[in-house]
Amino acid sequence: MSRAVDLLLDHLRAEQARGVEHVYLDEEAREVLRDLHRRTVAAKKNKGGTASSAPTQATPARSKTTAPARPREAPAAPPPAELKVEGATAAERVASLKAQAENWQPARAMGTLREKMVFSVGDPEAELMLVGEAPGHHEERQGEPFVGPAGQKLNDILKAMGVERTGVYISNIVKFRPAMPKQTSNNRKPTPEEMAACLPFVREEVKVVRPKCIVALGGTAAEGLLGLSGSVGAMRGKWHEFDGIPVRVTYHPAYLLHGSAALGDKRKIWEDMLEVMEMLGLPISDKQRGFFLPKG
Ligand code: URA
């Protein structure tokens, strides 16, 4: 095996050891791997080995008058999916990303996401960026992240922090609502593959916005953004990092929609937000510090 392949395997094993379970391959990388596979198969055949486990088929005798079969040409690979971020201002650069998301082939080609694209909302120069998992029914209808019941909870959290929704940047890892059979208003979590397909956008959004910190809303967003797995309980309570930007993981605001969300759960989310406020250098009153503490 070539040195390049050994290096690639070493890198993938190191990523796996770090907890990363999925890697995104653009079309160019896939073509390199396909080519490697073709060459391995051809090398095995030349050595007389059976390169494939597929059952061999009897070749029909060809009549002498039949023209010799031409070697099949490999179909032309589609151009690699590449993001070009254009524009002088942050708003223009976000708009340029949004325009490219509409027809982003790595996401579209999976056929598991719905048509309508929902990109982001808020201030492209915000100090705080919040990242959810994927748009749901309400977001798809209104073309804006976090506008349904979970969005209302997020608005309440921002209000308690003394921050305007228009003053932060809100986005999702996946830019399309995940599709389901017989879908009405029901939503599903995006898969790791769907998140990997859209992650290049989030990465570019972070480069454009350059927030002081990011909040990953829920375990799925944390998995897509940071490659973490496990419970939110284990992910929260510390700072992580995404492309050099500090990231705090907290429970998804939808968690607060269940009547069963106890005061203690609300307090945990609030403590995460207090950490975020400290990081942003926002003023914190004594009253704010005491939110969701048991009375007495
Ligand atoms: N949940 C998310 O993760 N994102 C949205 O935009 C809405 C609900």
Ligand 1 contacts CB of residue 219 (under 6 A) = no
Give the pLDDT confidence score for residue 17 in this predicted structure.
Answer: 47
CA distance 72 to 192: 35
Residue 103 lies in a domain: yes
> For the segment 19-43, what is each residue's pLDDT rounded down to a tens digit?
444 455 544 455 556 666 667 677 7
Residue 169 resides in a domain: yes
- Which atom, in ligand 1's list, is nearest to the CA of 133? 3
* Domain range for 38: 2-46
The answer, yes or no, to whether any atom of ligand 1 lies below 6 A from the CB of 251, is no
Q: How many CB atoms lie within 10 A of CB 245?
A: 16
Domain check: are 210 and 285 in the same one? Answer: yes
Q: Does the beta carbon of 150 sit less than 6 angstroms from any atom of ligand 1?
A: yes
Residue 208 Cβ inside 6 Å of ligand 1? The answer reads no
pLDDT score at 293: 96
CB of 133 closer than 6 angstroms to any ligand 1 atom: yes
28 within domain boundaries: yes
User: 21 with 139, same domain?
Assistant: no
Cα 145 to middle of ligand 1, angstroms:
6
279 and 203 in a single domain? The answer is: yes
Residue 55 lies in a domain: no
**CATH for 203:** 3.40.470.10
Ligand 1 atom closest to the Cα of residue 221 is 3
pLDDT at 21: 46
Distance 151 CA to ligand 1 centre (A): 7
Does one domain contain both 96 and 160?
yes
> Do residue 21 and residue 98 come from a single domain?
no
pLDDT for res 20: 45
Distance in Å, CA 132 to ligand 1 centroid = 5
What pLDDT score was predicted for residue 245? Answer: 98
Residues 101 and 177 in one domain: yes
* Structural tokens at position 16: 């796996």
Is residue 76 in some structural domain?
A: no
Whether residue 131 sits in one domain with residue 7: no
Say yes or no: 158 and 28 in one domain: no
pLDDT tens column, 66-108:
444 555 566 665 556 799 999 999 999 999 999 999 999 999 9
Nearby residues of 164 by Cβ (< 8 Å), 6 or more positions away? 158
Question: Structurally, how many domains does the chain consist of?
Answer: 2
Q: Are residues 28 and 157 in the same domain?
A: no
Q: Residue 79 falls within a domain, yes or no?
A: no
Cα(118) to centroid of ligand 1, in Å? 10
- Does a structural domain hold residue 66? no
Whole-angstrom distance, CA of residue 114 vs CA of residue 172: 15
Give the chain's residues under pLDDT 70.
1-38, 40, 47-80
Q: Is the CB of 81 under 6 A from ligand 1?
A: no
Is 33 in the same domain as 138?
A: no
**Mutation test residue for ligand 1: of 139, 147, 188, 251, the one with most atoms within 8 Å of CB:** 139
Rounded to the nearest 10 degrees, the angle between the axes of helix 219-226 and helix 192-209 is 70
Euclidean distance between CA atoms 120 and 4, whole angstroms: 38
Q: 153 and 285 share a domain?
A: yes
Would strands 128-132 and 169-172 be described as parallel, antiparallel, or unpaired?
Answer: parallel
Do both 101 and 217 map to the same domain?
yes
Is the residue at 210 inside a domain?
Answer: yes
Buried b or exposed e, range 165-199, using 16+ CB within 10 angstroms: beebbbbbbbbbbbeeeeeeeebeebbbebbbbbb
